[in-house]
Amino acid sequence: MITTFAARISCVLAISTPVALAQQPTSADAQAQTAARRAQTYEQQQEKMNAWTVGLAAGRIEGAPLRLAAEMARVVDDGPNMFVLPIVTRGPAENLNALLYLKGVDLAIINSDALEEYKAGFPDIRSHVVYLLNLFPSELHIFVRPEIQSLQDLAGKKVNFNTLGTAAAYSGPLIFSRLGITVDKTFIPHQVALQQMRKGEMAAVVFVTTKPVDAFLRGQWGPGFKFLPVTYEGKFEDYYLPALLEAADYPALIPQGQRISTMSVPTVLVSYNWQVGTNRYQRVARFTDYLFSRVDKLQVEGFDPQWKTINRRATVPGLTRFQAAQEWLDRQARKPPEKQ
């Protein structure tokens, strides 16, 4: 009987072992399952990172906008919860194109008069672009040789507007067009043009950038080299703001107590006007909250001094504020004042 029972057990084992082995995953199956788990984890990680990443079209490597974008990225960084990618571009004048047409661009730093280029072909451009911050003014500097006494004296003469893609190369000719003065425009590096000015080969250079400009602070200029005044008129109210160049800015070129009237081009942090509730809107809204709440972290040593002049409530001619930015400001206005 024992022999019979052992025989039965042997028979069962002989039958069940192949079935059990068949049910166990093969090496290939196990690898496939592991790969599937890894792929799922990769996709989840990819989705998580992209959910709170914003692309910021900034400008050229040598320009101030890219530096400001990099500093903003440092301050708002919050690991997977907020990641900013500053993007090197052809310059602020081209950043509006990037914002409108390039995938992955949520924000851009532009000069406000870049909108002028779209008036004919994109008449409703102002409904597609909204601003977060008026970052800083870029003052117009028209620096001339001694024999030039007025803007009209520049008619027909060589005037340099820096290299193509820079603020001066876009805003400068546009301003001269509005002034009704036709000049012989050149677009070469300013340091080359300034040397040509010394030799009498160039009548003027036009800078559109934040004062003070190192070339005028450190350069040695003979008698008569000067900045020309520009009168701010109604024709400039759509994009520009009045400004001054003072002795404190350029002590070697402007006598104490004198001021040179000019204008400035607002340099603006803008967003595409994403629909409220969409993922792209939520990304920019979170970026706005982080940036507005942490501006004080940008106003310390090690960051661009221009951050100390930032006014979050400053408006931009011709543009509407991003809704989440306005809501942030409204919440702050309702907060009771802190006790001293």
More confident residue, 25 or 317: 317
Calculate the dihedral angle through the C-alpha atoms of 107, 68, 189, 258, rounding to the nearest 10 degrees.
120
More confident residue, 318 or 7: 318
Q: How confident is the model at residue 271 (pLDDT cuts 50, 70, 90)?
A: very high
Average the pLDDT over 220-237 and give the result.
Answer: 94
Query: Residue 3: pLDDT above 50?
Result: no
Average the pLDDT over 136-162 and give the result.
Answer: 96
pTM over 0.85: no
Q: Domain containing 66: what range? A: 47-334
Q: How confident is the model at residue 51 (pLDDT cuts 50, 70, 90)?
A: confident
Query: pLDDT tens digits, residue range 172-187?
Result: 999 999 999 999 999 9
Query: pLDDT tens digits, residue range 245-264?
Result: 999 999 999 999 999 999 99
Average the pLDDT over 19-27 and give the result.
Answer: 49
Q: Two tokens at 197?
A: 């000015």
Query: Residue 24: pLDDT above 70?
Result: no
For residue 3, tell me if it sits in a domain. Answer: no
For residue 229, tell me if it sits in a domain. Answer: yes
Determine the pLDDT at residue 47: 80
For residue 300, tell me if it sits in a domain. Answer: yes
Query: Residue 209: pLDDT above 80?
Result: yes
Determine the pLDDT at residue 27: 66
CA distances from 246 to 82, 143, 309 (A): 41, 14, 17
User: Which of these, 114, 156, 137, lies nearest to 241 by C-alpha position?
Assistant: 137
What percent of the chain is predicted at pLDDT more than 70?
Answer: 87
More confident residue, 93 or 76: 76
d(CA 31, CA 113): 58
What percent of the chain is predicted at pLDDT more than 90?
Answer: 65
Query: Residue 74: pLDDT above 60?
Result: yes
User: Which of these, 185, 187, 205, lies nearest to 195 by C-alpha position?
Assistant: 205
CA distances from 164 to 32, 189, 191, 310 (A): 54, 9, 14, 28
Instruction: Check which CATH number belongs to the domain holding 111 and give it.
Output: 3.40.190.10
3-17, 98-112, 312-326: least confident range: 3-17
For residue 339, tell me if it sits in a domain. Answer: no
Average the pLDDT over 293-308 and give the result.
Answer: 94
Average the pLDDT over 316-321 and give the result.
Answer: 88
For residue 12, tell me if it sits in a domain. Answer: no
Q: Two tokens at 268?
A: 């603006």
Q: How many Cα atoms occupy the beta-carbon half-sphere of 131 within 13 Å?
A: 22
Q: How many domains does the chain have?
A: 1
Average the pLDDT over 228-249 and give the result.
Answer: 94
Determine the pLDDT at residue 92: 72
For residue 330, tell me if it sits in a domain. Answer: yes
Determine the pLDDT at residue 91: 77
For residue 161, tell me if it sits in a domain. Answer: yes
SS3 229: coil
Using CB atoms within 10 Å of the CB of residue 246, give its burial: 0 to 12 exposed, 13 to 18 middle, 19+ buried.
middle
For residue 36, tell me if it sits in a domain. Answer: no
